[in-house]
Amino acid sequence: MTHSPRTRRVVLVAGACTAVAALLGTAAAAQATTSAPLAAPDIPIAGVKGHLDKLQSIADANGGNRAHGRPGYKASIDYVKGKLDDAGFTTKVQEFNYGGRKGYNLIADWPGGKEDQTVMAGAHLDSVGRGPGINDNGSGSAGVLEVALAVSREGLKPTKHLRFGWWGAEEYGLVGSRHYVNNLGGDRSKIDSYLNFDMIGSPNPGYFVYDDDARLEKVFKDWYAAKNIVTEIETEGDGRSDHASFKDAGIPVGGLFTGAGYIKSQEQAKNWGGEAGRPFDPCYHQSCDSTKNIDDKALDNNSDAIAHALWELTS
């Protein structure tokens, strides 16, 4: 794996600048330059998988699930919050009630950046009652968490403000994310964009990009094109995850998806490998959605893509 230098690249705006800089001296030369965004770091797959192992052990210790209103959900919130607090995030647990049970969203702000231009990334942290929910949606939760920890490790100083969200009770109809968006009040107009990651490590993976907003879609499509990985537009779940809560409030949304219960076609298997005629995730919403139900390469690629998108969109 090659790395770009971890320093801000300073790019001269025009060839003439060199001569101008020689005439005007260094202070003026600095003004005659513009800077390109920092390259995002390679997100360590071992870190992402470590979070999945932890979510699996939380499910194992709590009746086999991490569902809304059950102890495994709150334990998942506590785990993610602890990691973010230790990394210097400002975290908030937002409570709501659904079905007579308390639900929780976790919001984590990275200090700095223009708050009236806030870029958000999020994932639902709840599972269905039937299983541990490792691909759906430990994968998105763990990928977003490891990217947040990378923001801290790298000491990112974004121009725009960066905020992460982990949503409760998605499986009951986007309940947590709707609660969050409905309670934004005047802050709603400050959200520049929301990126959603729900199922990003399906065991028979596809590479699907949300096509809701052209600018956000392009960030992901270009990144995958540069890696020579074919992408398709996400159509399986239109409006079936937390991005719909943001989209309905007029906020531009984007995101990635590796497939749920639909069957992979011959052509898709040619492009992406895996098995034609089988679902992208044969364990979707079942007890076998465990740590065995993950394609590491898809999870790694998508985690790296999340980092790239956030570095670029907040620069």
Q: How many other CB atoms sit within 10 Å of the CB of residue 222?
A: 13
Instruction: Give the number of residues in contact with Ca ion, rule: CB under 5 A.
Output: 4
Q: Which does 300 bind (CB under 5 to 8 A by kind): Zn ion, Ca ion, ligand DTR, none?
A: Ca ion
Q: Establish if 236 lies at the interface with Ca ion (CB under 5 A).
A: no
State the binding partner of 304 from Zn ion, ligand DTR, Ca ion, none, CB within 5 to 8 A by kind: Ca ion
Q: Give the C-alpha separation, 101 to 111, whole Å.
A: 32
Task: Extract the tokens encoding 57.
Answer: 């052990």
Query: Residue 263 Cβ, how far from ligand DTR at the closest point, in Å?
Result: 13
The entry of Ca ion, Zn ion, ligand DTR, none that residue 281 binds, CB within 5 to 8 Å by partner kind: none
Q: Nearest distance from residue 106's CB to ligand DTR, in Å?
A: 17
Shortest spacing between CB 197 and ligand DTR, in angstroms:
9
Q: How many CA atoms lie within 13 A of 139 on its CB side?
A: 35
Residue 260 interacting partner from Zn ion, ligand DTR, Ca ion, none (CB closer than 5 to 8 Å by kind):
ligand DTR
Q: In this chain, which of 62, 127, 241, 314 binds ligand DTR, going by CB under 6 A?
A: 241
Measured from each CB, the residue nearest to ligand DTR is 237
Phi then psi for residue 47, to 5 deg, are: -65, -45
144 near Ca ion, rule: CB under 5 A? no
Given the residues 146, 170, 171, 234, select the one marked as catalytic: 170
Instruction: Let me know if 236 is a catalytic residue.
Output: no
Q: How far is the CB of 176 from Zn ion (least distance, A)?
A: 12
Run of H or E including 145: helix 140-154
**How far, in whole angstroms, is CA 135 from its chain's centroid?**
14
Q: Does residue 136 bind ligand DTR (CB under 6 A)? A: yes
Is residue 181 part of the contact set for Ca ion (CB under 5 A)? no
Burial, 24: exposed, middle or buried (Cβ in 10 Å; 0-12, 13-18, 19+)?
middle
Q: Which of 257, 272, 280, 311 binds ligand DTR (CB under 6 A)?
A: 257
- Tell how many helices (H) and how many strands (E) occur in the chain: 10, 10
Residues 6+ apart with CB under 8 A from 136: 127, 128, 198, 199, 260, 281, 284, 285, 289
Which listed option, Zn ion, Ca ion, ligand DTR, none, makes contact with residue 257 (CB within 5 to 8 Å by class)? ligand DTR
How many CA atoms does the CB half-sphere of 244 hold within 13 Å?
A: 12
Beta-carbon contacts of 314 under 8 Å, excluding residues fewer than 6 positions away, are 113, 119, 156, 158, 159, 160, 161, 162
Tell me whether residue 161 or residue 264 sits nearer to ligand DTR (CB atom). Answer: 264
**The only residue of 42, 78, 232, 248 in contact with Ca ion, by rule CB under 5 A:** 42
Would you state the torsion angle of the CA atoms of residues 72, 307, 206, 293, taken in this order, to the nearest 10 degrees? Answer: -30
Positions that interact with ligand DTR (CB under 6 A): 136, 170-171, 198-199, 234, 236-237, 240-241, 257, 260
Query: Which residues are known to be catalytic?
Result: 170
